[in-house]
Structure 1
Amino acid sequence: MLLSLVLHTYSLRYLLPAAVMLGTAPTYFLAWGLWRALSAVLPARLYHEVDDRLYTVYQSMVLFFFENYTGVEVILYGDLPKIKENVIYLSNHQCTVDWIIADMIAVRQNALGHVRYVLKDGLKFLPLYGWYFSQHGGIYVKRSAKFNERAMRDKLLAQVKARISMYLVIFPEGTRYNPEIPKVIANSQAFAAKEELPVLKHVLTPRVKATYVAIDTMKDYLDAVYDVTVAYEGTVDQNGQRKTAPSMTDFLCKECRKIHIYVERIDRRDIPEEQIFMKRWLHERFEIKDKLLIEFYEAKDPERRNKFPTNGFSSKLRLIKSLPSLLLLSGLTASMLMTETGRKLYVNTWIYGTLIGCLWVSIKA
């Protein structure tokens, strides 16, 4: 009986945040859909400006749970600018929380609404979210030979033409680094050896296609590339072996005490333009990440372990940045669910919004 109560209490630690974040999705989707319809005859830039503001509201609510609710300590290193820029955000990839880390960085630059992702193609079928991410400027890509360079260029060029603020998130590894799936790591290292590139230990060998297309297409519009290295404290076992990074469920259960985020700003003019040279440049950037992570996880001096080899500082997200969005979206959702008409609208949004969204992304593909 006592064990059941403990397990039930533990589950509530993530069920409540998950219920609120998913439960407010139809409310957000309806607000966005109304604006999308009203803005159909307006310039694309105006649509995106309001869409960015709406997106800021939703993602601020998400950050309430992932930062304020969990109480995680965010430790920043490097040279994160305080101003908004048009950037490409390149990061190592370990878990689903990595997507939230991009929001954590962007909100500290007042650029949360500008975040757009390069996503794996299969994610386009997510209920409601899959369609919306595409409408918000996200780009779905397939790997290797199925990569559609023209489709990615066309979408990016349309956004550049509309002068849309860009905070484009790319994970060049293409999949997650997971110590529990050694085959993926071994294949990545074999690929590096085949390409006569240095073999990496704590990151996978990066693939250059999406990064090259993004930088090449937006080269006259970009200000910089943010090279981001993320480490989750507590992901090494007693034998010094690296463990799997926390999932969203683990994170919301407050199983990650600290996140260490190293940011290096690279001016666009310092990046080679030819793909063959950019491939080498990108690998060199991941060599730097690998060295940072080796120092983080394997430093012989215990005092230097679990930190990057430079001075960092703790950055706390103020409640004013997240709580109002939570109250607004949850309040609107609760009001909708209090009436029979509202409940029908809510359910129909989930059902028909998902069906129409899946049909839309399938046709566009």
Structure 2
Amino acid sequence: MLLSLVVHTYSLRYWFPAAVMIGTAPAYILSWGACRLISAFLPSRIFRRMDDHLYNIYQSLVLFFFENYTGVEIVIYGDIPKNKENVVYLSNHQCTADWIIADMLAIRQKALGHVRYVLKDGLKWLPLYGWYFSQHGGVYVKRSAKFDEKAMKKKLSSQTVLGTPMYLVIFPEGTRYNPELKKMISDSQAFSAKEGLAVLDHVLTPRMKASHVAIETMRDHLDAVYDVTVVYEGTLGTSSERHPAPSMPEFLCKECPKVHIHFERVDVKEIPPESVFFRRWLHERFEIKDQMLTTFYESEDPDKKGRFPGEGQRSHLSITKTLPSLLFLGGLTLPMLLTESGRKLYVRTWVYGTLLGWLWVNVSP
């Protein structure tokens, strides 16, 4: 019985925050709908500001659980600009929690409401979220030959014409790196060798299409590219082997005590526009990541192993930046669930919102 209680208590560490984040979605969507109606006859920039503010509230709720609730220690190497910028965020990709790292950096720059993602096409079928990420400026893409360059250009061009603040998150590897998937890694290395590119050990060969289209489409709108490299400390074994990164449930269960984030700002003027040179530039950026990760995991020097180059600064996120969002969305959701009419509205929002969202996201580029 004691063991069952322990197991049950452990599972609550994940289910409680998951229930709150998912459960507040209908109230959030209804709030967004109300703002949309209010701003329908006002200049579009007013709606965009309201949308970014609401998005900031929801993402702050997410960070309340992924950072304050988990108590994870964030160590940042490099200087994050204090001022907001229009940027493309490029990072290595190893687990479903990677997009949370982008939020962690954005909130420290007071740009959380500006975060938008380039996402796998299949994620557009997520109930409510799939549609909302798209309307907030997110871009869904398919891999390789199915990649629709025109649709991505059209979506990003429409954002830049409106002057939308941009913090566009892209994971150029496309697929999550998992050290246990040996064949995936060897196939990636074989492709690099075939193309005359450096073979990478701790990251996959980056795909250039989405990154190149994003940067070139928005070049006049962008200030910089943020080149980010992430390590979840639990992936460092007792010897030199690398373990898989934590899943989102494992992260929420407080199984990731520390995250190392290496940050480098690259001025957009330094990035070559031609596709051939851009491909080389992007691969060289991932060569740098691979060298840092190799040192992190495999260095025989104890002063270099388990850390990135330079001085790491521990960065604590004040709970005052995230707790208000929990109280706000919780305050909207609970009254809905306490009355019969509220519960009906709650369910209808999930059902009709999902159906309309699926229709919208599949007819809108």
Alignment of 1:82-93 (within 5 A): 82-93=82-93
Other structure's SS at 1:305 match: coil
TM-score between the two structures when normalised by the length of structure 1: 0.98
Q: Which residue does the alignment assign to 1:98?
A: 98
Q: Which residue does the alignment assign to 1:18?
A: 18
Task: Give the conservation status (yes or no) of the 8 Å contact 1:295–1:309.
Answer: no
What CA distance in whole angstroms lies between the structure 1 residues aligned with 2:258 and 2:166?
28
- Give 1:77 shift: 0.6
What CA distance in whole angstroms lies between the structure 2 residues aligned with 1:175 and 1:241?
21
Task: Give the conservation status (yes or no) of the 8 Å contact 1:228–1:263.
Answer: yes
Q: Which residue does the alignment assign to 1:46?
A: 46
Structure 1: which 5+ residue stretches go unaligned?
none
Other structure's SS at 1:137 match: coil
- Give 1:75 shift: 0.4
What CA distance in whole angstroms lies between the structure 1 residues aligned with 2:43 and 2:145?
36
The letter for the 2-side match of 1:307 is: R
Q: Which residue does the alignment assign to 1:240?
A: 240
What CA distance in whole angstroms lies between the structure 1 residues aligned with 2:274 and 2:79?
27
Other structure's SS at 2:93 match: coil
- Give 1:296 shift: 1.0
Q: Which residue does the alignment assign to 1:162?
A: 162
Task: Give the conservation status (yes or no) of the 8 Å contact 1:91–1:228.
Answer: yes
Other structure's SS at 2:127 match: coil
Q: Which residue does the alignment assign to 1:269?
A: 269
Does the alignment pair 1:126 with 2:126? yes
The letter for the 2-side match of 1:155 is: K
What CA distance in whole angstroms lies between the structure 1 residues aligned with 2:101 and 2:13?
20
- Give 1:184 shift: 1.5
- Give 1:336 shift: 1.5
Q: Which residue does the alignment assign to 1:299?
A: 299
Q: Which residue does the alignment assign to 2:33?
A: 33
For 1:17-55, what per-residue CA distance to the aligned partner results, in whole angstroms no more than 9, with x for missing partners? 001001101110111122223333433322211100000
More displaced stretch, 112-121 vs 174-183: 174-183
Other structure's SS at 1:234 match: helix
What CA distance in whole angstroms lies between the structure 2 residues aligned with 1:357 and 1:7?
37
What CA distance in whole angstroms lies between the structure 2 residues aligned with 1:289 and 1:320?
34
The letter for the 2-side match of 1:291 is: Q
For 1:41-85, what per-residue CA distance to the aligned partner results, in whole angstroms no more than 9, with x for missing partners? 433322211100000000001100001000000000112111100
Q: Which residue does the alignment assign to 2:213?
A: 213
What CA distance in whole angstroms lies between the structure 1 residues aligned with 2:334 and 2:302?
50
What CA distance in whole angstroms lies between the structure 2 residues aligned with 1:239 and 1:306?
11
The letter for the 1-side match of 2:184 is: V
What CA distance in whole angstroms lies between the structure 1 residues aligned with 2:262 and 2:314?
12
For 1:296-339, what per-residue CA distance to the aligned partner results, in whole angstroms no more than 9, with x for missing partners? 11111234321112101000000111001111111111121111
Regions of 4+ moved over 6 Å: none
Q: Which residue does the alignment assign to 1:345?
A: 345
Q: Size of the alignment, in residue pairs?
A: 365
Does the alignment pair 1:139 with 2:139? yes
Other structure's SS at 2:200 match: coil
The letter for the 2-side match of 1:179 is: P
What CA distance in whole angstroms lies between the structure 2 residues aligned with 1:104 and 1:37?
31
Q: What is the percent sequence identity of the aligned residues?
A: 67
Structure 2: which 5+ residue stretches go unaligned?
none
Q: Which residue does the alignment assign to 2:79?
A: 79
Task: Give the conservation status (yes or no) of the 8 Å contact 2:236–2:306.
Answer: no
Other structure's SS at 1:62 match: helix
What CA distance in whole angstroms lies between the structure 1 residues aligned with 2:246 and 2:344?
37
The letter for the 1-side match of 2:222 is: L
For 1:216-265, what per-residue CA distance to the aligned partner results, in whole angstroms no more than 9, with x for missing partners? 11111100000000001021333421111000100000000100001100
Task: Give the conservation status (yes or no) of the 8 Å contact 2:117–2:139.
Answer: yes
For 1:183-238, what per-residue CA distance to the aligned partner results, in whole angstroms no more than 9, with x for missing partners? 22111111111111000000000011011101111111100000000001021333
Does the alignment pair 1:318 with 2:297? no
TM-score between the two structures when normalised by the length of structure 2: 0.98
